[in-house]
Amino acid sequence: MLKTSYKEIHAVATRHLALATLFFLPKKEKLALERRLRGKEEYRKLQETDWVLMSWGKSGRTWFRVMLSRFYQLHFGLSTDHMLEFDNYHRIDSRAPKVLFTHNNYMRDYLRQWDSLEHFRGKKVVLLVRDPRDVAVSQYFQWQYRM
């Protein structure tokens, strides 16, 4: 089974093709367009998701995703070859939920609603929060040693 759905492959390929054909745009405008296209992809997923995990960057989202992946692997008898993505476990076993992991930054650009969370109405949302001091230290090391 494919790790990535055909919808996802199509969305990413379309985004890359659109950006490649607009090579003449200034970098700032291309970046804004890329953010809106990513937001469109996330918004489509939001419409299909069973629940959302939202967090600020460096708040432990990947760590949480690893633990949640393991839980779903054991609970649904899934292979340990891949970590949970949006709907990859659901495509293998329809009992597994579709989970959207987001910082909500791209969707706000796409919807042009920077102060509203209206697009989450009716969705189950888990907000992952980490001590801001730990986030700052983690972000420092990200910028200092990994970028």
Segments forming the whole domain that contains residue 22: 6-146
Confirm whether 115 is domain-assigned.
yes
Give residue-wise pLDDT tens across range 93-141.
Answer: 999 999 999 999 999 999 999 899 999 999 999 999 999 999 999 999 9
Label residue 1 by pLDDT band (50, 70, 90): low
36-94 residue pLDDT tens:
999 999 999 999 999 999 999 999 999 999 999 999 999 999 999 999 999 999 999 99
- Phi/psi class of residue 8: alpha, beta or left (left: φ > 0; alpha: ψ in -120 to 50)? alpha
- Cα angle vertex 140, ends 138, 144, to 5°? 120
35 within some domain: yes
Residue 1 lies in a domain: no
